[in-house]
Structure 1
């Protein structure tokens, strides 16, 4: 299962916890259990908050502390066997604590180093078991010797009968204790074998994931190189296209400059023609002004002459009306 599907599954479980009405701290603690037991992931405050997104940032840290304390309490195994040697009890307890500590750190980056330390502890514990077996054999030999001594002392049979019964009872109790200790040793061996098998399986899985990750990284690297090559080719093509476009633009600008020069020449010639036409227009305007002044002067003179003629005609009408009228008409006609 990949990381995305794993996160989706974890978020679905967290949503179900929220629907149960649990407190924020309990939700975080149960999320720790889901990560640790179901996915082999050591919970961290950042990952917890990213999954739950509830409460303050201090809540995930507190939840992790309580979760680890609970796991430590679960991992504390006390051997309650009467009259069992304290050294053996301490050895068993420490071995079980060490086994739990190693199992809780399988998913950490130092799993290999912890496994080596666990192997050393296992060897030491095996040696202690062998020493215990030797002691048991020595004790059994001692019991046999005591039985022979008791058999040889027939004269003390009546007096020692009670002591022998008590000794048998003690021997029976010790045998039971030894049997219980032996069973516990076997159980511990099974637990250690299971832990070792689980660790080897987890190491194999992590190795496969590492190889798959390297393969994915190589694939990503190849795709990135191909993408870079495509980008480089595209960039070269763009540069080439831009160069060609720039060359075409320079040709267009050169042609436009030539055209502008031609237009400038034509404009200069038109400006000269316009200047000549303006000079001619100014001269024509001056001539028209002169003609208009002359026309106005002639009109004024004609008016004066007409007035004088009317005065003369009036005088002649008074002296010779008919002749004057005919002359006047003739003059007017002329």
Structure 2
């Protein structure tokens, strides 16, 4: 059911439309009298008219109101003019036509009241539909909020995994640098081994030359030198094995970090796919909310159209009742 502020707002809007159609002050006040009396069932007064229109002086609405009541009385009391009829018969005929017009006006008022009740019932039904649509729109907004929260959480998770990936890549780079450093150390050990071998080979040749010159006198020294060479070669082989083991350990650590990095990348791709699905769901919810808003607007437009057509029909019926045909 319409509230009083809504009715006054609609009345003011119709008065503004009449203001644009009737620039003359008296014509405007006369149309506002008709609107109040026949459309809203209100008795027009000079103060009420001036409050609604606010045009001209205070005498303008009073003059227009007087002309309105005079016209209304003339329409409700008709006179039959015919030279062949007696005065009493003409008066009786006029009274009868006036009574018929008053009965037609009363029936029109009853019809108007019935149409108003039907319009109010339609408004109540439309309000129910509007409230249902608003509830569904609120539910869609709530679902959209939940989807947005989930999307935000996934984005934070993606950011965290990206940070972890960055750290893992840094660790892999550090291990690669260690592997490169181990390879450098291996090259240095190999160079030292080659130098030692060359040095021992030179010493061995010198010892062999000394042994050949001194014969058996330096035999013991030669055997001792050979033992030193064997010991150095054993040390060199041991260093070589340690270098190979260090290289294998670094390679295993690098492989493990590569596998962990690949796993994190797969998790990030899965989260990206989930984020895409959530964004699609959010778009569907937004589309549902827009559709509900359009349905609500269409319902309001249909209600206003139905109310306007019924009121126009009542005014047309009243206009036909106020114009009875005169006797020839």
Q: TM-score, normalised by structure 2?
A: 0.38
Q: Which has the larger radius of gyration?
A: 1
Of the two structures, which has the highest relative contact order with CA contacts closer than 8 Å and spacing of 6 or more?
2
TM-score where L is the length of structure 1: 0.37
